[in-house]
Structure 1
Amino acid sequence: MFPKASFFRSLGWGLAVTLLVTFILQLLGFIRIDPVEYLENILILGSWWILVSLIFYYGKKIQVRRKSLIHIFSLAIFFCFVLLLDQWMSIPDNPVSIFLLILFWMGIAQFVAPAFFKKYRKYILGFYGLVWALFVLLRWNENTYQENRELAIFLLLFPIPIFLLLWIFEQWKRMKELEAEKNQAELAMLKNQINPHFLFNTLNNLYGLCVEKSDEAPEVVLKLSDMMRYTIYEGSQNEVLLSKEIHYLENFLGLQKLRHRYHPKIDFQLSLEQDKMISPLLLIVPLENAFKHGVEKLTEQAFVKVSISSNQEKLRFTVENNFDPSLQSKESGIGLENLKRRLKLAYPEAHFLQITKNKDIHQVTLEILWN
């Protein structure tokens, strides 16, 4: 099952656009649909439906850069060349034109689904190479070809639904992996973010505030309650509003200010233009590490800078902190490894994660492209 309604919307838009363009082209006389050729019509229209749906589905994840524009322009020029060549040669079901069209469709697949095409490139090339060779054998003799024309067309179009089913299986498998990984991440969050050490320090400070009858005590209870509620309930969802995730971070920062007697300098900058849906408990990992490996090991002049900006295109999240180089472990943290894995599953081809260290400054930059 696909977790995002955008997939089904893409199928709907793809079907609508394919039928509309086909109707217009037939009305203008550019194409002719033979109502007798049921199999050929279904497979051809189905292949166009798949292509258009994939473009809608992956469209917002593809960054329109110079390289992408060159790719699109090259495919358009190549397609025009194939049409002109086919018209000039004037050979029905020309094997050369069909070979070039196969290359064109592979170029389209490589553009709209690069990860899938790269993974199964050898199978796609090998399968279509065999299919084209069989088509050429049938096409070699005109009489044999006319007797087996439907079989030849079927051979050319049959791989499309096969690779479509394989792509759907890959999406299903990725969602299952994401669900399993998220369950593990939730358990890790319960152990690491709301851990006994954290609770002990927070409750100890809360006890001191209660003894002093401080007005801050109710606020601390509320923040801690909100954090535990979010981790347990909201963290079990596939997606939550970005504003809720940010509120969770704000509560975390509020309690961290209370916990540390050396009063680390915390700079929190927020620019929320678009409140999109996001996988929960992603942003807390770099922030928790900034305190665990930075602030908690420094006795003075500790700082944490947090920046969050969200617009129509993407989310940008940056955490910067200082640390003591002599106390740093060379081993990579489990939290960051889990984060990388979750990002790979939840936002394939749509995220950027950079971790840098410069002397005693550690910075994590995360960007997520919105769907």
Structure 2
Amino acid sequence: MFPKASFFKALGWGFAVTLLVTFLLQRMGFIRIDFDEYLENILILGSWWMLCSLVFYYSRKIRLRKQSLLRILYLSLFLTGLLLLDQWMAIPDNPVSIFLLILFWMGIAHFVSPVFFKKYQTIIFSVYGLIWALFLFLRWAENYFEEYHELAIFMLLLPIPFFLMLWVFEQWKRIKDLENQKNRAELAMLKNQINPHFLFNTLNNLYGLCVEKSDDAPEVVLKLSDMMRYTIYEGNANEVLLSKEVNYLENFLALQKLRHRHQPEIDFQVTIKEDRMISPLLFIVPVENAFKHGVEKLTEQGFVRISLYSDQEKLNLKVENNFEVSPQNTKVGIGLENLKRRLELAYPEMHSLQITQEKGVYQLILEILWS
């Protein structure tokens, strides 16, 4: 996704803190800034700016994950060590310091956007490998500081805006792909979840309740109405509260209990320690498949067991059902393929999906890491 407002807010705080700390350190005599070397100043101050901004942007994530805190700590120590080494060696435009600075920026890029970095790491290493080789060649020229100093520093800065534009393009392409997949998934939901068979079956049972003047009839109407409203309206949102998605599943399961003459065992266990935002209509695919390919083809002793757990770090969904073993049940449905693609787009490298079929029991485990 494109950076949210919080990202730009973090950049603002990072910039303010970097300027304030730099000003105080210079006034106290701990550092000396040569204002004529503006390109070098951009590199060093830009590095501290990005590092400070990361601390602000990932402040919540840091509290939740020690790994994120350690990575930012390592980057801070690396940059500090780099600057101390450069000061100790006292070599203007030290090739060793420049090399380490390049590695630092690569570490920043990998931390901020690991998927993008992994995809283009060959290009990134090639471009900066070539730039560093050219820098070495220019650095040892006798007239380097008179003719090539600014050119060498400019070469180090030049690829950054191009990689940033490539990153923005990748995000735009990913969002468009996600929207297309989401639209296809919504169409599949409208066709498969609230399909005529499901609707007529539910209405037929509702008619029976009305004839019997059952007190359950109004509740059934309400559940069916809530399901259709959620699918059509909430399904169009980019994200919804996890609790709303759970409520949708509860309505679906309640109507499924009404539909089946041979009452299957339906168990739905939910533990939500923190109500997070999530892409809509993700869970209904495996749950609906548990009935469509499992319970509906069994005449007795059918079961669907669902457990959903969410805390500050991750979400875990487990769906289990028994089924009649046959060659047809080995096929992967379109809905499941759409689900896999949506997960890849919405939660790249932050999810896992495991599916097993053993002794007539189908099990799906979905885990999503919160960003």
Q: Same fold per TM (> 0.5)?
A: yes
Shift of 1:58: 6.7
Partner of 2:198: 198
The higher-RCO structure (CA 8 Å, 6+ apart) is 1
Shift of 1:39: 4.5
Structure 1 residues 327 and 122 mapped into 2: Cα distance closer, same or farther (>3 Å)?
Answer: closer
Aligned residue type for 2:356: T
Distance 2:63 2:355 in 1: 23
- Distance in 2, Cα, partners of 1:363 & 1:28: 64
Q: Does 1:362 align with 2:365?
A: no
Q: TM-score, normalised by structure 2?
A: 0.88
**Mean Cα displacement is larger for which, 183-192 or 100-109?**
100-109
| Counterpart for residue 342 of structure 2 | 342
Please say if residues 138 and 145 of structure 1, whose CA atoms lie closer than 8 Å, have aligned partners that are also in contact. Answer: no
How much does 1:44 deviate? 4.3
Corresponding letter in the other structure for 1:262: H
Map of 2:213 onto structure 1: 213
Q: Would you say the 8 A contact 1:47–1:160 is kept in 2?
A: no
Alignment partners' CA distance in 1, 2:174 and 2:316: 24
Identity of aligned residues (%): 73
How far 1:36 moved relative to its partner?
4.0
Under a length normalisation based on structure 1, what TM-score does the superposition of the two structures give? 0.88
Pair 1:186 & 2:186 matched = yes
Deviation of 1:144 after TM superposition, in Å, equals: 3.3
Gaps of 5+ in 1: none
- 1:276 is matched with 276
Q: CA deviation at 1:10?
A: 4.1
Which deviations, in whole Å up to 9, do the C-alpha atoms of 1:120-150 show, x marking residues without a partner? 1111111112211221222122323333311
What is the alpha-carbon distance in structure 2 between the residues aligned to residue 41 and residue 79 of structure 1?
Answer: 14
Instruction: State the Cα deviation string for residues 25-54 of structure 1 (Å, max 9, x = none).
Output: 434444333334445444543454445545
Where in structure 2 are the equivalents of 1:37-52 lying within 5 Å? 37-42=37-42, 44-50=44-50, 52=52
Letter in 1 for 2:283: L
For structure 1, which segment, 104-113 or 48-57, has the greater mean C-alpha deviation from structure 2 after superposition?
48-57
Q: What is the Cα deviation at residue 233 of structure 1?
A: 0.5
* Distance in 2 between residues matched to 1:290 and 1:8, nearest whole Å: 43
Contact 1:44 1:157 in 2 (8 A): no
Partner amino acid, structure 1, of 2:160: I
Give structure 2 stretches of 5+ with no counterpart.
none
What is the number of equivalent residue pairs in this alignment? 370
Q: Does the 8 A contact of 1:323 with 1:360 survive in 2?
A: yes
1:235, distance to aligned residue in structure 2 (A): 0.4
* Aligned mates of 1:16, 1:367 — CA distance in 2: 38
Question: Matched residues in 2 for 1:250 and 1:342: separation?
Answer: 22
CA offset at residue 158 of structure 1?
A: 1.9
Q: Aligned partners of 1:296, 1:34: CA distance in 2, in Å? A: 77
Counterpart for residue 242 of structure 2: 242
CA displacement 1:93-121 (0-9 Å, x = unmatched): 11233223323432443344322111111
- Give SS of 2:143's match: helix
Provide the rounded CA distance (Å) in 2 between the counterparts of 1:356 and 1:58. Answer: 36
User: Conserved in 1, the CA contact under 8 Å of 2:312 and 2:370?
Assistant: yes
- AA aligned to 2:265 is K
CA-based RMSD = 2.9
Aligned equivalent of 2:31: 31
Once residues 2 and 109 of structure 2 are traced to their aligned partners in structure 1, the CA distance between those partners, rounded to angstroms, is: 21
1:304-315 matched pairs, under 5 angstroms: 304-315=304-315
- Asked if the contact 2:205/2:259 (under 8 Å) is kept, the reply is yes
Residue matched to 1:113: 113
Q: Separation in 1 of the partners of 2:218 and 2:124? A: 62
User: Counterpart of 2:125?
Assistant: 125
1:72-151 superposed matches below 5 A: 82-83=82-83, 85-151=85-151
Instruction: Tell me the distance in 2 between the aligned counterparts of 1:291 and 1:249.
Output: 13
Q: Deviation per CA, 1:313-367, whole angstroms, max 9, x where unpaired?
A: 2222211111112264322111111111111111122222222222221111122
Question: 1:211 Cα shift?
Answer: 1.7
User: Does the CA contact (< 8 Å) of 1:58 and 1:113 recur in 2?
Assistant: no
Structure 1 residues 180 and 348, CA gap change in structure 2 (3 angstroms): same
